Structure 1
Amino acid sequence: MVKGTEYEERGSIGFVSLIATVAAVGGLLFGYDTAVISGAIRFIQLKFTLGNFMVGWAVACLIIGATIGTGFAGKISDLYGRKKALILAAILFTLGSVFSGLATNFTWFVIARIIGGLGIGISSVQSPLYIAEIAPAKIRGRLVSLNQLAVVTGIFAVYFLDLGIASRGNLVWNVSTGWRWMLGFGVLPGVLFFILLLLVPESPRWLQLKGREQEAFNILKRIHGESQAQIELKTIKPSSNNGYGLLKQLFKPGLRHALLIGVVLAVLQQVTGINAIMYYAPEIFKHTGAGQNSSLVETVWVGIINLIFTIVSLWLIDKLGRKFLLLAGTAMMTISLLVIGYAFHAGTAGSWVLIFILLYVASFAVSMGPIVWLVIAEIFPNRVRGTASSIASVALWLADYVVSQTFPVLLNSVGVALTFWIFGILSAFAFFFTLKAVPETKGKSLEEIEHMWSRS
């Protein structure tokens, strides 16, 4: 017979895991909407007769919306709660999917993608932040990284969706109709996310910041059990008693260091090239000589590897720690990108490019992919977490925009080889920045991490 305390502990982990899984559906929307364009972009280009710059804009307009949504996400969640912010994200994403699939001209398409981007921006900040605020310290890395697993699951699924839809008709059908189905299917995960969010509680740390102590305690009790919930609440109180922090507090010694780490890691996650590959994978593989169908199949392999190694990261992140995985991952990313650049430079592109792109994606999936979002969600104090996470995430999305907008132009100006070498140099910088500046946060509560900055 299971003892009461054992049952209580098991039930609490199940409860918090369920909540984290629901919140992570926001990552599924993120992955779907950012990757669906990779299979649709060629048909959209032909439909609306777009040049290289406008192709970049067709991809990057989503990121403009995401950047704006990210900028407001912290303020929205601080005022109305993490849960309500996520509900708003689900609504915006669903509307964006509907209208982008129905677009009759390029302007309508761009507006619809920006609306969807607003939802993606909000969920990209709030999903990991919400999970971090409800998760026990010993499994926080794993639970927050469920969001990244959902992101890559969305990417993985959409590659098959794009391939399946594109295979149902010829080029003429895909230009007129196929891409609409690719974008419009996003309604399904958007509605699912909205419904599931109605069933989860608010963040106990946000409730405590609002002075709703009893509600916070009730949720903590379901997560930790009564005795541990009392300990957690006593730990949370001191960092919540002063209410919300002013923005200027982030630029004081200690927190300034935390903000620097969050912003720089956020930028490095993007400028090391991952979304250039995710958005433009079929176009990259066509540079190796692959045909349209072959390039889409090879893109599916990118999704498979991304998914598998994100799962590996979930298993390792609370065992080996954030810093170790960042160092190992960025080292392998650097090597892979330099080899890819050399293969294109030497004219030997082909299977070698596929192998090292997959190695690069695996390295990213174990390290920069999940860990940057985790670090952004956990390194800031309770009273400024919403605002600080938004600042770091705005930096991430702006970097994503720059990469997405310039990548097609770079490919056609400086060439594929030099483009990948640039990404390789930036990956090397990410390695050394992690080595010198990023602390280990494995196993520490959010409040212990906050105290770490006050001592620096």
Structure 2
Amino acid sequence: MVIIGLGYFFAFYDILTLSFAIVSPMIQQLKMTRLEISEAVSVSLFGYIIGAYFVATVSDYWGRRWGLITNAILIAIGSLGSALSTNAIVLIASRLIAGMGIGAEIAIINTYISEITPAPIRGKMVQFTYLAGALGFAVTPFIAFALIPISPIGWRWLFGLGALVAAAIVPLRYLMPESPRWLTIKGKFDEAERVVRTLESFAEKKVRPLPPVPPPLPEKLLSKFPTAELFNRKYGPRLLMAVLFWFFDYMLAYGVIGFAPYIFVAAGFTFTTATWYIALGSIGYIVGALSMAPIADKWERKYLVASAFSIATLAVFLYAVAVGIRSPIILTIGAFLGAFATAFAVPAYTYTAELFPTRARASGFAIADGVGHLGGAVVPFIIYLVFNPLNPLSTGVWTFVLLGIFEIIATLIVLTGPRTTKLRLEQVSD
């Protein structure tokens, strides 16, 4: 979990770096146009979709561990390329590669943790792992606040730090055990047994005795291409539901992550003021992650997700008010609630992984979450059309209101999904 957490931290760190870099000297140094800024934001999300699917397919075929190693390599290459960019084309290409690694990272981490944790605490364990990602979200604004103003190339150090740590994570991931569930569907029963015995031995030293082993449930072996397992009457509707709720949720998420500092600065806040208040609000990531952990397995998963989405809607409406009246206090409250909602919504990751069978779980998660990121990929162009920096107050307000409407739609969609809390994965998906 520590090794997974380090990856989560810098995956989420990397997601935020560009949003602060676009209000730094980088734009002038690389001679980027407004359209190229939107392209740099969007291309990372297209990379997310591509990487999530292809590396997840690797994970379904060759194992979760190899998928996790591939993720870290891609993030390191993309972040290093971003740090060394000499023009907009190099930056855009580097963000594509980094996006591929981040998309696969989130898909396979949630698949892996879901498969190696017991059903009664599955949500809690995913939440604790995500806490490291929440710290990444919370710390990144402070790192940007420290690095960007002190040097014309501070934005390069911002990207370079992520590359350095991602590269260091690669050898650590060789130490991780493979998912026993994946080993089982590949027919590697002896190796699966060794992994489980290792986990049992560790647990017995902490809590004696272990509860009785429940009777095994049938699990179909992987007999065809993983994606082909998803397009049928059982998994097809689940896949569509997950794609749609992620699509509208990511329209809000990446609209805010990619453009909130830009809109606030255009509306009259200075860079340091906007970044500082957003950084203060980012404490909400940690509060949200810790608040969800005790209840992650006590309330039905889809209702937890819906409650988090509702808080996110309130947060973005407060952003609209903050722009309209130029209120740093309301900006800070909105930033806190938005960060809180992001961390509070982690059950959405758990929920997505639970919807699909082991033989295609990583692929199912990657398609749902990856294709859902098309929402994040198109929203920069919607903002490009709606937001006018020459009239930042009224167009800024309407931009945030529109993002809130997208999140309301996501909330209604997720409520149509099946129940999963405290059920074994085989009960939910087979």
Q: Scaled by the length of structure 2, what TM-score is found? A: 0.89
Contact 2:320 2:398 in 1 (8 A): yes
Counterpart residue type for residue 244 of structure 2: V
Alpha-carbon separation, structure 1, partners of 2:361 and 2:214: 18
Contact 2:114 2:122 in 1 (8 A): yes
Contact 1:274 1:361 in 2 (8 A): no
Select the residue among 380, 388, 404 that pairs with 1:424: 404
Alpha-carbon separation, structure 2, partners of 1:377 and 1:420: 30
Report the aligned-residue RMSD. 2.5
Counterpart residue type for residue 18 of structure 2: I
Of 282-291 and 40-49, more deviation after overlay is shown by 282-291
Q: In percent, how many aligned pairs have the same letter?
A: 27
Counterpart residue type for residue 254 of structure 2: N
Of 315-324 and 47-56, more deviation after overlay is shown by 315-324
Alpha-carbon separation, structure 1, partners of 2:334 and 2:105: 31
Alpha-carbon separation, structure 1, partners of 2:119 and 2:101: 28
- Residue 24 of structure 1 corresponds to which residue in structure 2? 5
Shift of 1:306: 1.9
Alpha-carbon separation, structure 2, partners of 1:156 and 1:187: 19
Shift of 1:230: 9.5
Contact 1:221 1:228 in 2 (8 A): no
The alignment status of 1:337 with 2:316, answered yes or no, reads: yes
3-state SS of paired residue (1:444): coil
- Residue 255 of structure 2 corresponds to which residue in structure 1? 276
Of 358-367 and 113-122, more deviation after overlay is shown by 358-367
Alpha-carbon separation, structure 1, partners of 2:11 and 2:300: 25
- Residue 395 of structure 2 corresponds to which residue in structure 1? 415
Superimposed CA distance per residue, residues 129-176 of structure 1 (whole angstroms, 9 cap, x where no aligned partner): 11111111111112223443232222222212111112323xxxx2xx
Alpha-carbon separation, structure 2, partners of 1:85 and 1:74: 7
Q: How does 1:103-182 map to 2 (within 5 A)?
A: 103-169=85-151, 174=152, 177-182=153-158
In 2 relative to 1, CA 147–399 (structure 1 residues): closer, same or farther, beyond 3 Å?
Answer: farther
- Residue 371 of structure 1 corresponds to which residue in structure 2? 347
Alpha-carbon separation, structure 1, partners of 2:139 and 2:302: 30
3-state SS of paired residue (1:440): coil
Shift of 1:408: 4.3
In 2 relative to 1, CA 337–35 (structure 1 residues): closer, same or farther, beyond 3 Å?
Answer: closer
3-state SS of paired residue (1:441): coil
Contact 2:124 2:293 in 1 (8 A): yes
In 2 relative to 1, CA 25–265 (structure 1 residues): closer, same or farther, beyond 3 Å?
Answer: farther
3-state SS of paired residue (2:52): helix
Alpha-carbon separation, structure 2, partners of 1:93 and 1:183: 11
Contact 1:217 1:230 in 2 (8 A): no
Counterpart residue type for residue 353 of structure 2: A
Of 401-410 and 371-380, more deviation after overlay is shown by 401-410
Counterpart residue type for residue 322 of structure 1: R
The alignment status of 1:265 with 2:241, answered yes or no, reads: no
Contact 2:31 2:87 in 1 (8 A): no
The alignment status of 1:56 with 2:38, answered yes or no, reads: yes
Select the residue among 155, 161, 173 that pairs with 1:197: 173
Select the residue among 310, 328, 332 that pairs with 2:289: 310
Select the residue among 167, 186, 197 that pairs with 1:210: 186
Alpha-carbon separation, structure 2, partners of 1:246 and 1:115: 24
Shift of 1:201: 0.8
Select the residue among 24, 27, 47 that pairs with 1:65: 47
Superimposed CA distance per residue, residues 253-299 of structure 1 (whole angstroms, 9 cap, x where no aligned partner): 2222321232122213202x122222333223324532121111112
Of 273-282 and 437-446, more deviation after overlay is shown by 273-282
In 2 relative to 1, CA 231–241 (structure 1 residues): closer, same or farther, beyond 3 Å?
Answer: farther
Counterpart residue type for residue 304 of structure 1: I
In 2 relative to 1, CA 200–220 (structure 1 residues): closer, same or farther, beyond 3 Å?
Answer: same
The alignment status of 1:75 with 2:54, answered yes or no, reads: no
Alpha-carbon separation, structure 2, partners of 1:349 and 1:409: 25
Of 38-47 and 85-94, more deviation after overlay is shown by 38-47
Contact 1:36 1:155 in 2 (8 A): no
Contact 1:338 1:420 in 2 (8 A): yes
Alpha-carbon separation, structure 2, partners of 1:195 and 1:246: 28
Select the residue among 265, 273, 276 that pairs with 1:286: 265
Counterpart residue type for residue 332 of structure 1: I
Contact 2:9 2:133 in 1 (8 A): yes
Contact 1:96 1:113 in 2 (8 A): yes
In 2 relative to 1, CA 199–210 (structure 1 residues): closer, same or farther, beyond 3 Å?
Answer: same
Contact 2:277 2:328 in 1 (8 A): no
Contact 2:312 2:407 in 1 (8 A): yes
Q: Which has the higher helix share?
A: 1
Q: How many residues align structurally?
A: 419
Consecutive unaligned residues of structure 2, counting only runs of 5 or more, are none
Shift of 1:85: 1.0
3-state SS of paired residue (1:168): coil
Superimposed CA distance per residue, residues 363-415 of structure 1 (whole angstroms, 9 cap, x where no aligned partner): 33312xx1221112121111221221221122122222112444344322881
- Residue 19 of structure 2 corresponds to which residue in structure 1? 38
Alpha-carbon separation, structure 1, partners of 2:370 and 2:199: 31
Consecutive unaligned residues of structure 1, counting only runs of 5 or more, are 1-19, 452-456
Counterpart residue type for residue 351 of structure 2: V
Alpha-carbon separation, structure 2, partners of 1:386 and 1:409: 35
3-state SS of paired residue (1:240): coil
